[in-house]
């Protein structure tokens, strides 16, 4: 066992046999600290190289996936809009452009995944599904431009979302599908960004999410289940998008969240589980949302009138069903005011440690992985890069201002594009889509 | 699977007489698809026939067998699963066989959403007679993966909808004895305490649960799970949280041992924010955690935050933020701050 691990030395004093959780944790710690020791023991210029984001090899890996996936990807045959999102969002985070033909091919392909009655399926001819609808819509916004944005049938998407509405207040993933917090998030995120969110869709969602916040503070997939990073992000973002976030116990959610960052620097998804690169975004993004909430609520005086306005938007009186005075235009301004809000609050997590874990433990030659010893994939590439962007901008006072010197780990070329954490879309593309859909006709 | 079916799966569909009347429907990927998958011939063929029966809405026995093959190639195809349910209903099929089908798949696909959703659907149709088999099924999953999220959700659904609560607390004990760090088992324990129809809820069990939790903490004070569980037990009873001497004694015991003090300090901070007043022993214990910090503030909460900033570097910003927000509205935390 590694002497650098405090928990292992404590346990060495005990005559208890380590449990499975401990054994797994110590094994990972020893692997991670081995890598960190390597970093400490090499000259500074080699350190910079070790911490460098390997842009070229990542682009090569991503572009290859767009053009060809081997037979082993058949198990993801019902997730192809997701693969599109993981890849195109990664490329957008890297600030790289792609050739126009590839863009058109992507728009054409996603058109074939769009169901005639609204929503997108996992591939051409498959039933529409909320998660792949979220992935397809986010991809098309990331691609940007009139052709791409206009290819989304907003009216039919709305009808699909209404059809997925469940009696519990939540949403079903698809006709006859499971009801959980993921379904709520993907439905509300899509409706919000397309400017089709209304009271019928919102009704009952807040109660459903609230029923999933656990005694630990985080949010579970379903009432009674265990607090989990992915669902916590989904639940928190949903509550912000529907303007009911203050109904959550934010103090306990924050406390649970900050304890998910492990000694390795990365985030774990649940208490006493191993860290995993993908939670860099799920937990790191949730931490960024909390930080922005504090920007709204943390100061009670000497704020500009702009902030007063946005505060008014975020403070909800909506628990008792008095929703009638909130029209679509008003509710659709919540996310943009939230994201554009100026913040003086520091990040709630250790940003440098997170960047170190992502760059040294998750990054491989072309792509990212869960942890040392695991293989790369497009999912982890997307969420490691998203988490890296969140960490890099975590000290910035405005969503789109350049990071402060010192908040970026590694060379300046590591800097990624800033994201809108509510939807995990690169900010510039999100702004374009917002403008496009706010001018779109009413349904 | 019987040998008859094995033989059938060996022959390509195009050579099976019972499929001779069906023309497979190719996937409409367009001329230049992105993320194209190089499907094996077998995969492409099965999906071609699947699309044909799906579009024709053919709810037949051969269509059921076809969905079996398609699911074995890709258990994530929710369209196939959903169509399979329609067929099972149309044929009024024996759902016990369906349980076996899912069990075979689960050995390789235990983290697949569709599989668990399907299992829940089958169990719901079978009703209470399914309870014990479902509990056994999840138990078998936990042998290899005691924290399988889907399996825990399924188990909770079974307990709430089909019953079988009798041995659940004992089962939690068993799992926690194996691995006291298993947070899923702690979560299940909370589920049992709060929802078991015969235990009377937290109110009726708080004394024994608190003792169990304190005992667990003292075995491994660095284990976060029971610390959170302890807070959970008092979620709706601030009064007993603040006044129960067992809790402050626990903090004192941990602080004066050589164990990691972070969770004890963090709990104390919450206790004080809710009105608890630490005695001199506790104050001394807090101050000696980092003797060199010299932060003997008149406000013990400030001292705790300062100590945590020093010993819990990963969360230094958080503790600083907590310190900044100690006054004036400590108890409400951020939840209340939207009110000007």
User: Does the distance separating the beta carbons of A123 and B30 come in below 8 Å?
Assistant: no
Res. A294 pLDDT band, cuts 50 70 90 = confident
Res. A367 pLDDT band, cuts 50 70 90 = very high
At residue A426, the pLDDT reads 98
Asked whether the predicted pLDDT for residue A7 surpasses 60, the reply is no
Q: Please name the residue ranges forming H helices in A261-345.
A: 279-297, 305-314, 328-340
Q: What is the mean pLDDT of residues A354-374?
A: 98
Nearest-angstrom CA–CA distance, A386 and A380: 10
Pairs of residues, one from chain A and one from chain B, whose beta carbons lie less than 8 Å apart:
238
Nearest alpha-carbon partner for A280 in A357, A343, A228? A357
User: Does the distance separating the beta carbons of A270 and B184 come in below 8 Å?
Assistant: yes
Helix (H) or strand (E) holding A147, with range, is helix A146-150
User: Does the distance separating the beta carbons of A67 and B340 come in below 8 Å?
Assistant: no
- ipTM tops 0.85: yes
CB A110 within 8 A of CB A85: no
Phi, psi at residue A138, to the nearest 5°? Answer: -60, -35
User: Does the distance separating the beta carbons of A69 and B37 come in below 8 Å?
Assistant: yes
How far lies B100's CA from each of A13, B96, B119, B133, in Å? 47, 7, 10, 11
CA A163 to chain centre: 25
Asked whether the predicted pLDDT for residue A235 surpasses 90, the reply is yes
Nearest-angstrom CA–CA distance, A124 and A111: 9
CB B325 within 8 A of CB B333: yes
How would you label A391-418 residue by residue, b for 16+ Cβ within 10 Å and e otherwise?
A: bbbbbbeebeeebeeebbbbeeebbbbb
Name the residue among A22, A250, A296 with its Cβ closest to that of B333: A250
Scan for tokens 């089962």, then name that residue. B171
Asked whether the predicted pLDDT for residue A47 surpasses 60, the reply is yes
Cis peptide before B311 (omega within 30 of 0): no
The residues of B assigned a catalytic role are 111
The residues of A assigned a catalytic role are 228, 270, 273, 276, 278-279, 370, 377, 380
β-strand A368-369 against A419-420: which pairing, if any? unpaired
Per-residue pLDDT of B34-68, as tens digits, reads 999 999 999 999 999 999 999 999 999 999 999 99
Which residues does chain B have with pLDDT short of 50? 1-4, 7, 329-340
The model's pTM is 0.92
Per-residue pLDDT of A378-409, as tens digits, reads 999 999 999 999 999 998 877 777 787 778 99
User: Measured between beta carbons, which residues in chain B are less than 8 angstroms from residue A299?
Assistant: none
Q: List CB contacts of A122: < 8 A, sequence separation 6 or more.
A: A77, A78, A79, A80, A81, A82, A113, A129, A132, B76, B77, B78, B79
Output A296 or A17, whichever has higher pLDDT: A17
At residue A344, the pLDDT reads 67
* Concatenated DSSP letters of A343-362: --PPPSS-HHHHHHIIIIII
């Amino acid at each position: 066992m590694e002497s650098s691990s405090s928990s292992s030395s404590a346990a060495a004093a005990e005559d208890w046999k380590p449990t499975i959780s401990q054994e797994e944790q110590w094994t990972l710690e020893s692997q991670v600290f081995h890598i960190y020791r390597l970093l400490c023991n090499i000259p500074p210029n080699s350190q910079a190289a070790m911490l460098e984001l390997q842009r070229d090899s990542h682009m090569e890996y991503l572009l290859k996936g767009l053009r060809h996936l081997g037979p082993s990807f058949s198990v993801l045959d019902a997730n192809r809009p997701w693969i599109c999102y993981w890849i195109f969002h990664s490329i957008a985070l890297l600030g790289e452009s792609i050739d126009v033909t590839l863009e058109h091919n992507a728009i054409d392909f996603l058109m074939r995944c769009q169901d005639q009655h609204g929503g997108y399926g996992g591939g051409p001819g498959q039933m529409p599904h909320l998660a792949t609808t979220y992935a397809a819509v986010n991809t098309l916004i990331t691609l940007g431009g009139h052709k791409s944005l206009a290819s989304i049938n907003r009216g039919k998407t709305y009808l699909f979302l209404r059809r997925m509405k469940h009696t519990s207040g939540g949403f079903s993933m698809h006709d006859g599908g499971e009801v959980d917090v993921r379904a709520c998030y993907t439905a509300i995120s899509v409706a919000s960004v397309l400017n089709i969110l209304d009271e019928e869709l919102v009704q009952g969602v807040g109660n459903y999410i609230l029923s999933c916040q656990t005694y630990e503070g985080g949010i579970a997939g379903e009432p009674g289940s265990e607090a989990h990073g992915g669902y916590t992000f989904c639940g928190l973002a949903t509550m912000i998008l529907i303007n009911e976030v203050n109904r959550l116990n934010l103090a306990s959610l924050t406390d649970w969240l900050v304890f998910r960052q492990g000694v390795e620097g990365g985030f774990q998804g649940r208490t006493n589980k191993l860290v995993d690169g993908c939670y860099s975004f799920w937990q790191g993004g949730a931490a960024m949302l909390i930080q922005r909430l504090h920007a709204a609520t943390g100061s009670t005086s000497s704020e500009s009138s702009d902030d007063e306005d946005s505060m008014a938007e975020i403070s909800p009186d909506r628990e008792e069903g008095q929703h009638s005075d909130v029209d679509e235009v008003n509710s659709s301004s919540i996310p943009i005011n939230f994201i554009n809000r100026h913040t003086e609050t520091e990040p709630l997590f250790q940003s440098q440690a997170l960047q170190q874990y992502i760059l040294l433990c998750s990054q491989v030659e072309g792509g990212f992985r869960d942890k040392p010893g695991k293989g790369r994939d497009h999912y982890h590439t997307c969420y490691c890069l998203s988490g890296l962007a969140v960490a890099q901008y975590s000290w910035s006072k405005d969503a789109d201002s350049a990071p402060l010197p010192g908040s970026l780990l590694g060379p300046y070329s590591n800097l990624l594009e800033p994201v809108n954490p509510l939807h995990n879309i690169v900010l510039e593309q999100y702004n374009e889509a917002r403008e496009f859909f706010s001018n779109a006709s009413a349904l | 699977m019987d040998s008859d079916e094995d033989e059938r799966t060996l022959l390509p569909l195009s050579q099976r007489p019972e499929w001779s009347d069906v023309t497979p429907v190719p996937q409409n990927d367009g001329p230049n698809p992105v993320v194209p998958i190089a499907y094996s011939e077998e995969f492409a063929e099965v999906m071609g026939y699947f699309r044909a029966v799906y579009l024709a809405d053919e709810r037949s026995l051969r269509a059921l067998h076809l969905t079996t093959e398609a699911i074995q190639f890709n258990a994530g195809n929710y369209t196939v699963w959903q169509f399979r349910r329609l067929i099972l209903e149309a044929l009024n099929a024996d759902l016990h066989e369906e349980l076996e089908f899912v069990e075979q798949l689960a050995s390789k696909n235990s983290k697949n959403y569709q599989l668990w959703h399907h299992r829940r659907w089958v169990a719901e149709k079978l009703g209470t007679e399914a309870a014990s088999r479902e509990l056994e099924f999840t138990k078998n999953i936990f042998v290899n993966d005691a924290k399988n999220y889907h399996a825990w959700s399924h188990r909770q659904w079974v307990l709430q909808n089909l019953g079988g609560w009798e041995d659940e607390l004992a089962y939690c004990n068993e799992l926690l004895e194996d691995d006291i760090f298993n947070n899923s088992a702690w979560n299940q324990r909370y589920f049992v305490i709060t929802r078991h129809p015969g235990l009377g809820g937290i109110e009726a069990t708080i004394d024994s649960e608190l003792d169990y939790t304190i005992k667990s903490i003292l075995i491994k004070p660095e284990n976060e799970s029971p610390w959170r569980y302890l807070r959970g037990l008092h979620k709706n009873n601030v009064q007993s949280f603040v006044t129960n001497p067992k809790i402050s004694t626990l903090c004192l015991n941990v602080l004066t041992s050589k164990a990691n003090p972070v969770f004890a300090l963090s709990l104390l901070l919450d206790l004080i924010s809710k009105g608890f007043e630490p005695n001199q022993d506790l104050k001394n214990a807090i101050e000696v955690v980092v003797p060199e910090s010299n932060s003997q503030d008149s406000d013990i909460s400030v001292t705790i935050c300062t100590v945590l900033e020093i010993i819990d570097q990963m969360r230094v910003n958080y503790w600083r933020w907590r310190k900044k927000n100690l006054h004036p509205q400590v108890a409400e935390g951020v939840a209340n701050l939207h009110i000007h």
